[in-house]
Amino acid sequence: MDIASLTGIVCGLGLIISAILMGGDFSLFVNIPGIMIVVGGTLSATLLTFPLADVLSAFKAAVFVFSSKEDNPNDMVFTMIELCKITRKEGLVGLSRTKTDHAFVAKACMLISDGAEESIISDTLTIEIDAMKERHFIVQDVFTKMNAYAPAFGMIGTLIGLVQMLANLADPSSVGPAMGVALLTTFYGAVLAFMIFGPIAGKLKSRTAQEVMNLQIIFDGASSITQDANPRMVYEKLSSYIPSSQRKALE
């Protein structure tokens, strides 16, 4: 579990709910028509913007915001150093026998052990990285668009509430419910946008940047292996991606 994400969502929603309870009855902030306008409108606009498969993929990816499972760049550096050592000691045959659960590392090992030219290895791995960026961008864009749609539908709900209120000024009992829709839809839209959708898009973007850096480490490591570089030189090259305060020393 990602402690930062969990702390952020719990503290944010907790403070908002606490402020509501300290100021009055929580039921005052529950308005079904307003929820229907904001949530339903945001989802409808999102489905109109993106294919259903992309929207479903985005909601599945949102789970990873709260997951702490991610590759440590130091581990990637030392993985490539070990592969470099195997290649220098056993040749390409030894590299072909290497087993790994990381698909990108496995592809790099397969290309190198098959004796592919360095340009082919470079082009193949570059395409893999670019394709991953594009897939992740679509997922991030879903939440970015929802971040924009939610406040907009909150404003639409406000306008609906104001129209209802103005149309029934002669009936004082209808002014309160109509004004509730007018104000609460804006509230719902702002909370969804700035507490849920925006932060999720930002966290997914940071996760993508981390994954791109790991893939770039593997990419440069594979390039160094094809050039039969010294493991020490490989370490100095790949560790440059990592801040000096976070680098793991080479024994």
Please report, for residues 63, 118, 197, 202, the alpha-carbon distance to residue 149 in angstroms, rounded to integers and kept in the order given.
21, 46, 10, 16
Q: How does pLDDT run across 221-242, given as a tens digit for each residue?
A: 999 888 888 889 999 999 999 9
**Among 60-64, 69-73, 212-216, the range of highest mean pLDDT:** 212-216
For the chain, domain boundaries: 1-30, 32-251
User: Residue 1 has what pLDDT?
Assistant: 67
User: Residue 241 has what pLDDT?
Assistant: 93
User: Residue 97 has what pLDDT?
Assistant: 82
pLDDT category, 31, cuts 50, 70, 90? confident
Residue 68 has pLDDT above 70, yes or no: no
Query: Which segment of 64-78, 98-112, 139-153, 168-182 scores lowest on mean pLDDT?
Result: 168-182
Residue 138 has pLDDT above 90, yes or no: yes
Cα–Cα distance for residue pair 52/122, rounded to 1 Å:
34
Per cent of the chain over pLDDT 90 is 50
- What predicted TM-score, i.e. pTM, was given to this entire model? 0.86
Please report, for residues 57, 118, 181, 204, 205, the alpha-carbon distance to residue 147 in angstroms, rounded to integers and kept in the order given.
17, 43, 20, 14, 14
Cα–Cα distance for residue pair 225/235, rounded to 1 Å:
12
User: Residue 20 has what pLDDT?
Assistant: 87
- Pick the more confident residue, 125 or 28: 125
